[in-house]
Amino acid sequence: MALHSAIKGKLVSVIGDEDTCVGFLLGGVGEINKNRHPNFMVVDKNTSVSEIEECFKRFVKRDDIDIILINQNVAEMIRHCIDSHLQPVPSVLEIPSKDHPYDPTKDSILRRARKSTLHEKPLHCQKIDVWCAAIAFLEIDEHECWLQQDGATCHTFNETMQFLHEFFGDHVISKGLRFPRSPDLSPSDFFPLGVPQRNCL
């Protein structure tokens, strides 16, 4: 294994059983930094929890490591350390081992991601955007008009789309309907450009 060089970029580190570490080392991830510290740790039945914690904290502090791969069964032994690591770099990825399959319900990152999942909520009354578009058609038979809009969340909110379909029927060009982002099928995108050209040039 060669000494770490900044030219090689950031490292992937591994904390796991012998099979896991050997597999990644054969793949070429093994490095030793200038202080003669490796970027991997083999955990066996004689390895203490304090040794694993110390290694994990050392990897977190190293500026040459961007990703820490750790067997999930080993991660369970130092779960409090992993849960307290909230920085995006180095990223901590829990992986299965030969004898312990991966359980997504135990993964710290997945648990945090599920808690922060955004749910679709309208920012205001669903009719505001619709009326801005529909106001020009109020004196015209809506069955002779087409409404085109982009795929913004406030435009495609379920209640907004329901109102649009009640007002315009199937004459709606929107997200998932009639290719709203296709220039070939959206001539209205180019219509305003011709007006000033004809009147000003």
The one-letter code for the residue type at 10 is K
Q: What SS3 state is found at 78? A: coil
Would residue 57 be called left, alpha or beta, if left means φ above 0 and alpha means ψ between -120 and 50 degrees? alpha
**Predicted pLDDT at 177:** 59
In whole angstroms, what is the distance from residue 38 CA to residue 18 CA?
15
**Predicted pLDDT at 20:** 93
Residue ranges in the chain whose pLDDT is less than 70: 1-8, 115-147, 150-155, 175-201
- What domains sit in the chain, N to C, each tagged with a CATH number? 6-115 (3.40.50.10580), 127-191 (no CATH)
Taking the chain, what is the end-to-end CA distance rounded to the nearest angstrom? 70
Q: How many CA atoms lie within 13 A of 84 on its CB side?
A: 8
CB 89 within 8 A of CB 66: yes
In whole angstroms, what is the distance from residue 68 CA to residue 47 CA?
18
80: enclosing H helix or E strand? helix 79-84
